[in-house]
Amino acid sequence: MSDSTVLVAQTGSVRTLTLNRPAALNSFTGEMHERLRGELDAAAGDAGVRCVVLTGAGRAFCAGQDLADPAVSVDPSRGESKDLGAVIERWYHPLALRLRSMPVPVVAAVNGVAAGAGANLALNCDLVLAARSAVLIQAFTKIGLIPDTGGTWLLPRLAGRAKALGLALLGDKLPAAEAERLGLIWQCVDDDALPAEAQALAERLSAMPTRALVATRHAIDAAQTLDFDAALQLEQRLQRAQGHSNDYLEGVSAFIGKRPPRFTDR
Ligand code: T3D
């Protein structure tokens, strides 16, 4: 197997990116950030990609920041501190923004523990499937930090303030089934079934009208900060654009012709 920190595979129009530092539970070094950023950009720019799956090698999805990376690790005996704001600005904020602005849907296949920024990495994806044995951990307060990578924005919106605070303050393990019950993730599946379920979901999404999917994500995210009238205005603008798309013509003619549609816009 390649020793690259991000493995890339393609089946049809589904691009799978696998975080690949299993000995350190796929925690982020600067190098892995760099690779993932490059691969997300490459997938975004490739017309042959209509859905991305993000997963982890080995027993973890991602344990967040690699706490032994010299860029962020501190030597307690020296009483030194690091500028974590710079780390966030350079890596985690662009990562969250990249995921939420991908021109194709992104599926997280959470194969094992997802901790710290690793948990919020998953929550930034469009649909999150998790293996039943996986756990999500807002591990930040355990090391004196606050949730980042969009966690403070995402958690209350997904689970409500009470659960968001419980998860973020206590940093306990949240089993995948409970994450599904709380509405934090789309679905929890049996461990053995995760790769096939993630691929099937990604193939289903890749056959759908990509631009409509991405515009739907945009409208739903934007509506979090808009009043009702502004959300209606945004729907109108986006629907106008969709109305001019090839996919809309194809969708309607396929419906009228009683045949399956073949969507091509991206
Ligand atoms: O730059 C900044 O700091 C700002 C940005 C912050 C973003 C963040 O993500 S902060 C949160 C960082 N992540 C954590 O605090 C999680 C730390 N890891 C854990 O709490 C546990 O490892 C897990 C709960 C995730 C899993 O526990 P367990 O018992 O299944 O595994 P383990 O034995 O703890 O870990 C296995 C190996 O992975 C171990 O290495 P070893 O002893 O076999 O050589 C462990 O050190 C390594 N590992 C796990 N997480 C990290 C890590 N190494 C470096 N960084 C990690 N985050």
Q: What is the pLDDT along the chain (266 residues), one digit of tens a residue?
A: 588 999 999 999 999 999 999 999 999 999 999 999 999 999 999 999 999 999 999 999 999 999 998 877 777 777 778 889 999 999 999 999 999 999 999 999 999 999 999 999 999 999 999 999 999 999 999 999 999 999 999 999 999 999 999 999 999 999 999 999 999 999 999 999 999 999 999 999 999 999 999 999 999 999 999 999 999 999 999 999 999 999 999 999 999 999 999 999 99
Give the DSSP letter of residue 28: B
User: In angstroms, how far is the first alpha carbon of the chain from the final one?
Assistant: 32
Which ligand 1 atom sits closest to the C-alpha of 145? 10
Residue closest by Cα to atom 42 of ligand 1: 24
Residues in the chain: 266
CB-CB contact of 3 with 16 (8 Å): no
What is the C-alpha to C-alpha distance for residues 98 and 91, in angstroms, rounded to an integer? 10
CB-CB contact of 86 with 108 (8 Å): no
pLDDT of amino acid 75: 76
Place of tokens 């990509």: 210
pLDDT of amino acid 1: 57
Closest residue by Cα to residue 149 from 243, 238, 28: 28
Task: Ligand 1: list residues with CB < 6 Å.
Answer: 24-25, 27, 63-68, 72, 84, 87-88, 113, 115-117, 137, 139-140, 143, 145, 148
pLDDT of amino acid 77: 77
- Strand positions, DSSP E, the chain: 6-11, 14-19, 51-56, 60-62, 106-110, 113-115, 127-131, 135-137, 173-175, 187-189
Q: Write the CA distances from 97 to 94, 101, 126, 223, integer angstroms.
A: 5, 6, 13, 17
User: Phi and psi for 180 in degrees, rounded to 5?
Assistant: -65, -45
CA dihedral sign of residues 61, 65, 66, 69: positive
Q: What is the pTM of this model?
A: 0.97
pLDDT of amino acid 80: 79
Largest distance between two CA atoms of the chain? 73
Closest residue by Cα to residue 110 from 43, 53, 36, 50: 53
Residue closest by Cα to atom 22 of ligand 1: 63
DSSP-based three-state secondary structure for 152: helix
CB-CB contact of 139 with 171 (8 Å): yes
pLDDT of amino acid 163: 98
